[in-house]
């Protein structure tokens, strides 16, 4: 299931491993200059790599940038393809998350027709991502084809995909006491196509991400972009939902 990451993505992931702050120059490619609520296409200089800048904390004070960053890091740890995310601020102190473009040439899931063989090849990835999205309480990958991109140049039989936009997850979607983790509805795969082996493997990987690793990951988010109370909520969400994954996804023998 482990995928070969795009070289630019791998480079930024490595660069942001201990300190996810972009300190280079940025060129905004749209007219709005990054001040609206929509993501803005930007060019990171001098590499020329394209990324998408979005306000790190939205108007409702939801720490969307922190969600994006943590989702990208957690996904990478368990082998689910999500492009790396870092942070950047302008001279006026406005903070943005930066999501590196997934592939040099990409199309959205609903803009292409995938062969039966490639769909079959994607089953392990979608089985794993379904567990991952349930774990982080993500609600933007059910019936959201625009949040799955495909490498337009992948070799036949070896489809490459990446999940983007995890702003609506963690504290945006989960609160202590909320209902248990469930399989996302209208997902990229039908419930009966989910592979038990991939699910079990992903749950095993999730349980392998220790509390210390999660805490360390959260500590790398700049303090102003994630208040202490929300850090605690995120840890609780991940801990609580990790416990529920097995009962949500894996049926006991004989259970219909």
Give contact residues for another protein (rule: CB under 8 A).
Answer: 8, 30-32, 37-39, 41, 43, 48-50, 52, 54, 58, 83, 99, 101-108, 111-112, 146, 149-154, 156, 162, 164-165, 167
Nearer to another protein among residue 16 and residue 163 (C-beta): 163
Contact 80, 163 (CB under 8 A): yes
Q: How far is the CB of 141 from another protein (least distance, A)?
A: 13
Q: How far is the CB of 50 from another protein (least distance, A)?
A: 5
**Taken in order 138, 158, 149, 29, is the CA torsion positive or negative?**
positive
Q: How far is the CB of 5 from another protein (least distance, A)?
A: 15
State the CB neighbour count (10 A cutoff) for residue 11.
Answer: 15
Taking the C-alpha atoms of residue 160 and residue 74, their distance in angstroms, rounded to an integer, is 19
Contact 143, 110 (CB under 8 A): no
Q: How far is the CB of 184 from another protein (least distance, A)?
A: 17
Q: What's the Cα-to-Cα distance from 228 to each of 58, 156, 211, 232, 235, rounded to whole Å?
A: 17, 47, 16, 6, 11
Nearer to another protein among residue 38 and residue 224 (C-beta): 38
Q: Which of 137, 119, 115 is nearest to 245 (CA)?
A: 137
Taking the C-alpha atoms of residue 39 and residue 22, their distance in angstroms, rounded to an integer, is 17
Q: Using N-to-C axis directions, what is the helix angle for 196-208 and 116-135, rounded to 10°?
A: 40
Q: How far is the CB of 36 from another protein (least distance, A)?
A: 8
DSSP 178: P
Taking the C-alpha atoms of residue 149 and residue 163, their distance in angstroms, rounded to an integer, is 6
Per DSSP, what are the bridge partners of residue 26? Answer: 44
Nearer to another protein among residue 102 and residue 128 (C-beta): 102
Q: How far is the CB of 123 from another protein (least distance, A)?
A: 19
Strands across the sheet with 161-163, in order? 106-108, 148-151, 161-163
Taking the C-alpha atoms of residue 67 and residue 58, their distance in angstroms, rounded to an integer, is 12
Nearer to another protein among residue 153 and residue 232 (C-beta): 153
Residue in the block written with tokens 């490619």: 29
Taking the C-alpha atoms of residue 147 and residue 166, their distance in angstroms, rounded to an integer, is 9
Nearer to another protein among residue 43 and residue 220 (C-beta): 43
Nearer to another protein among residue 166 and residue 214 (C-beta): 166
Q: How far is the CB of 201 from another protein (least distance, A)?
A: 27
Nearer to another protein among residue 107 and residue 250 (C-beta): 107
């Amino acid at each position: 299931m482990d995928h070969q990451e795009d070289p630019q993505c791998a480079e930024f992931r490595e660069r942001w491993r201990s300190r996810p702050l972009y300190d280079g120059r940025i060129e905004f490619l749209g007219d709005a200059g990054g001040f609206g609520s929509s993501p803005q296409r930007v060019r990171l200089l001098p590499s020329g790599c394209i990324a998408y800048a979005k306000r790190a904390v939205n108007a409702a004070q939801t720490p969307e940038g922190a969600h994006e960053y943590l989702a990208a890091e957690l996904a990478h740890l368990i082998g689910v393809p999500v492009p790396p995310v870092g942070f950047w601020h302008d001279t006026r102190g406005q903070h943005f998350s930066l999501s590196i473009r997934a592939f040099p040439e990409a199309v959205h899931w609903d803009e292409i027709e995938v062969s039966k063989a490639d769909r079959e090849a994607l089953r392990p990835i979608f089985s794993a991502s379904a567990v991952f999205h349930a774990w982080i309480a993500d609600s933007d990958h059910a019936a959201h084809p625009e949040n799955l991109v495909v490498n337009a140049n992948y070799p036949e039989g070896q489809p490459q995909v990446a999940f983007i936009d995890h702003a609506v997850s963690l504290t945006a979607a989960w609160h202590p006491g909320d209902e248990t983790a469930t399989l996302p509805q209208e997902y990229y795969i039908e419930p009966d196509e989910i592979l038990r082996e991939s699910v079990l493997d992903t749950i095993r990987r999730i349980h392998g991400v220790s509390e210390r690793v999660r805490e360390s990951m959260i500590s790398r988010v700049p303090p102003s972009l994630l208040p202490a109370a929300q850090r605690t909520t995120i840890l609780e969400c991940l801990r609580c939902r990790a416990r529920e994954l097995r009962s949500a996804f894996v049926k006991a023998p004989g259970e219909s």
